Chains A and B, each alone.
Chain A
């Protein structure tokens, strides 16, 4: 009788435990995700299926509610969510720049304990887990790689037609201007309508070459000013570039989306953009079409802006590099909660070997943050190979200005660089404006 009762008790306990476990297994965690979908990238349409659906299939207990945004609407949505205290659980972020609010207001989770717990540090390049690389001062996002903001695309078809070789120095570039113009080509094309492009993709490099490594720290520490001769010389060089017609001032009317199309149709011999732009030229897997076909890509090269052979330059063969974008978790998610674990699982997937390898293959990524990617297994197009090798073209990296200074400081610089192009402000005036803005920003701090 006792045994019978005991058996019944054990059976009831097991059934209860079974029910609880079934209940637990069926508990679905819902994650709100704000994702940046680069709609200008030829392979973005495939991304949903390959990345997000695959994650949900592998994690049936995690349901994703994804909001895809692109360009300005993405940043507006982020700021609006931050203002309303209603940030998504997982979101796409920059290490600084446009995501400054998320970082400085500490709205993102510190991922260091999770990275250490799962032993992930060794799988990423040191920069990715370096807290000083993010404005927050801690590892607020797991980055997908490193971005070189100056990629100097060379169109050998145009140069060959003009009987020229790639310029190795600025003076060689200047010498090519009339020859290319004679043939109806521009020398260097930039999509300068948006103010950030000149600052991020060229001027930061110029400032680094004139100011030398660590120039920005001297300003931040109060040892130097934007009105010092080095910075003014860098601004003067921008004026010289426009005056020499190396970059035509009419590029101020070229929208960011137009640049790749114009370059692919042989408008100019050279094109300046960031390393991420190589992805715009490669084949779209869904249509089989490419802005520059793989065969034609053999006629294109990618390097860094030529040596600046002008008085006052401290270094050449340099580029500007910054930690690339990544994914972060809302700081409001409680430690140890199922939601945090689900969010971390998603971030690990998004910055994991499979997804980064996929992004590398589609041109969505230049230099991945993972150290265990097997490049040999990838079938890359010539421009993808060229962008992957861009790191070999320079031996020093200086800072990207909008990655170091905050908006109130770099905004007058961005506007000023355009004003120099139009001739409405002198380099000295722009330098003074930036210094005034910096002083005001510092005082407010």
Chain B
């Protein structure tokens, strides 16, 4: 066996397990999901079922044109979550990380860091149930507090039910981005900052001209994580509001789940929703990468 063959063989052996896993749990389901979205399959046997046939883009057309507008409602909620993640969690996470790394607060640095990161180690379901008990219902903690000030306060439905969900999402995931930024801030050579300081640079100039450019790649990475995470958000909302009231807090993943598993199953519609979710993810990630390049990130 020649060295070249040995090399190729060893590459193949090393790559094969990962490739098999990727093909079986990512590529195959994705392609199969796209195929199912183009069929009339509505339950029962998948393989060897003579009643299944291709119906083209019927499910996609229904999804975009159905009279209730469920898709657009869910998409709108997802975009709100994306906005809160990208323009809320990331700047806030960065700000907190900067405060901690520059030791701008005195004592209690570690405690502060732990408190902000803590929601990340709690299950989303638990947080969802917890905030459901805090915010929703006539006997919620919020209502009890309201009654302390106004004994005749009555529970009413929030006209903007997504707002509490967005606040919880902001609170829950900011710590995650803070840790990422903190780790990367600590990689910046302190000598550079020290030199800038000796040259008379103030805190804002250090931030703008040294810290932010050094972290541009991390910002793009966190933005990609935020977008992909926002589009697949399910567990927290499922536990907190279950998409209600009247689907006002429904997101795409919940809409997909309901189409597949609630009431009479509509698998083609559910698969069409998942395909569109993947496409939206890809588009948003490409946009973020392009923006990153425009603003001089080294990320490819």
Contacts and interface: CB of A to CB of B under 8 A. Distances in A.
Contacts of B68: 412, 415-416, 419, 433
A253 B244 contact: yes
Given A408-B266, A411-B263, A107 B247 contact: no
Contacts of A433: 67-68
Given A250-B157, A253-B137, A408-B266, A193 B261 contact: no
A72 B62 CA distance: 25
B48 to A, nearest CB: 8
Nearest to B73: A424
A61 interface: no
A417 to B, nearest CB: 9
Contacts of B47: 85
A82 B157 contact: no
A436 interface: yes
Contact of B266 (A255, A402, A407, A421): A407
Nearest to B48: A85
A414 interface: yes
A43 interface: no
A16 interface: no
Interface string A379-413: 00000000000000000000000100011101110
A165 interface: no
A340 B256 CA distance: 37
A202 to B, nearest CB: 16
Q: Looking at chain A, what size class is its interface with the partner chain?
A: 35 or more
Contacts of A252: 157, 244-246
B263 A98 contact: yes
B44 A415 contact: no
B157 A422 contact: yes
A424 B248 CA distance: 10
Given A101-B265, A250-B155, A253-B157, A82 B245 contact: no
B264 A100 contact: yes
A76 interface: yes
B157 A407 contact: no
A55 interface: no
A83 B138 contact: no
Nearest to A86: B45
Interface string A144-171: 0000000000000000000000000000
Nearest to A411: B263
Given A412-B66, A412-B68, A418-B245, 10 more contacts: A72-B262, A75-B262, A79-B260, A83-B43, A100-B264, A105-B43, A194-B242, A267-B138, A436-B67, A437-B67
13 contacts: A75-B261, A85-B48, A97-B263, A105-B43, A253-B157, A254-B137, A407-B265, A411-B264, A418-B247, A419-B246, A421-B245, A422-B246, A432-B67
